[in-house]
Amino acid sequence: MLKFGTDGVRGVANAELTPELALALGRAAARVLGGDRCAVGRDTRRSGPMLEAALAAGLASEGVDVVLLGVVPTPAVAWWSASEGAPAAMVSASHNPFADNGIKLFAAGGRKLPDDVERRLEDELQRLLRLRPADDGGEAGDRPVPTGAALGRIDAAVGADAGYRAAVVASLDGRRLDGLRAVVDCANGAASAVAPRVLRDLGVEVEVVNDRPDGTNINDGCGSTHVERLGPLVAERGADLGIAFDGDADRVLLVDAAGQVVDGDQIIAMCAIDRHERGVLAGDSVVVTVMTNLGFRQAMEKRGIRVVETRVGDRYVLEALEAEGLALGGEQSGHVIFRDLATTGDGLLTAVQVLDVVVRTGVPLGELAARSMTRLPQVLRNVRVARRDPAIVDRLAADIAAVEARLGDQGRVLVRPSGTEPLVRVMVEAPTAAEADAAAAELVRAVEALGA
């Protein structure tokens, strides 16, 4: 059975993530999360309606009324959950290829599930999957199975994204983005209808690409996973910038007028510095992961902004933000969380916030990104090993220390075993690409020499 990861369950639709599994997950979610209502949204994958129907059936079979939001961004589902105070689910595999799909769940209030709730949900799901239909004997655990009028209703929402769109616009407190020209890549995904409309409502002159989903072209050579293709188009069109979403629009990457990519580290840096200078950066702190570029850390230190570091994964960023009462954090991938404005990563909200900085300061995106931080060359290597070994980093301690000593405070080393595959991930940052390459190669040889 599929296991819960940092973002729900995910796998090949109809092979790993089957309708039967989605049905059982709907029943388990109703029992564990509680409540008498639940919304379900989806992205544009061909398998989306199939899994949406199965998930909704499972919820309704437990007496939960289901609101079908249709094709909407993941943050729109979280917004519904927060505004309605009810659980919600998103059927999406985010940036994965179209054949994959996934289901991520939000607790009432729009927050991702904490670990203990996720464990309870997985236990209940496994129990349900072990049962034959007749084994319930007319009961679901220690309660009667709903019948008749006690069954949940399944209804499609009308204008499901209207409230979310209004919330994104309202995040600017009446300010507008007139005068900007943007090329927007919707990844043939969930942003296709929503993002261009919001940006135009705010005054942006928009040219949209990859907004014709056909069920199989989501993330296919487009969107934030292929943002390098947007750069030449922005430069060719003479636009001020480009905006690239992933399939479910919970992350975004940008491109400046010259076609250069502006990644999540730079986006967070620009927003953190802007908030700091205006005196509205909560705790004068920002939360990022261990993968965030050293140049970001150096830039924040220079400006007196504290950096809180977490494991890789936006859920860990959110946990740190909530634990310390902070408002801004995210990942290099473009998963950015404005906790004072949303309950989860939101690509459209993030783009609007950055464009607001550009308009208020009058500084072009490329110059603003360059002023905010200097990105050190970063080299990533995945080294395949014979078996997973969580202790391998300890065995590499001397090799890592030698490289760290050579780089000093001008570089950074991160070596970690994959949590799911027999891989060791090596990351090196250094003042030059050549130094980073050489240091990474040295550590790769060290891993290989262990014969793990």
Hey, which residues are catalytic here? 94
One-letter amino acid at 394 equals D
Give me the residue label for tokens 């949940």.
152
- Other Cβ atoms less than 10 A from the Cβ of 369: the count is 23
Instruction: Answer left, alpha or beta for residue 356, where phi above 0 means left and psi between -120 and 50 means alpha.
Output: alpha
Which string of DSSP letters, residue by residue, matches 351-407? HHHHHHHHHHHT--HHHHHHHH--PPPEEEEEEE-SS--TTHHHHTHHHHHHHHHHH
Distance of CA 167 to the CA centre of its chain: 19
- Using N-to-C axis directions, what is the helix angle for 194-201 and 347-361, rounded to 10°? 20
What is the separation, in whole angstroms, between the first and last Cα of the chain? 28
- Those residues with Cβ within 8 angstroms of residue 210's Cβ, 6 or more apart along the chain or in another chain: 185, 186, 187, 188, 192, 217, 222, 223
One-letter amino acid at 185 equals D
Strands 423-429 and 378-384: antiparallel
- Print burial letters for 120-153: b (CB count within 10 Å at least 16), e (below 16): ebbebbeebeeeeeeeeeeebeeeeebeeeeebe
What does the angle CA 36 – CA 337 – CA 232 come to, to the nearest 5 degrees? Answer: 120
Strands 139-140 and 143-144: antiparallel
| Separation between Cα atoms, residue 226 and residue 5, nearest integer Å | 24
Residues in the chain, total: 452
| Separation between Cα atoms, residue 197 and residue 164, nearest integer Å | 12
Tell me, what DSSP letter sits at residue 280? Answer: -
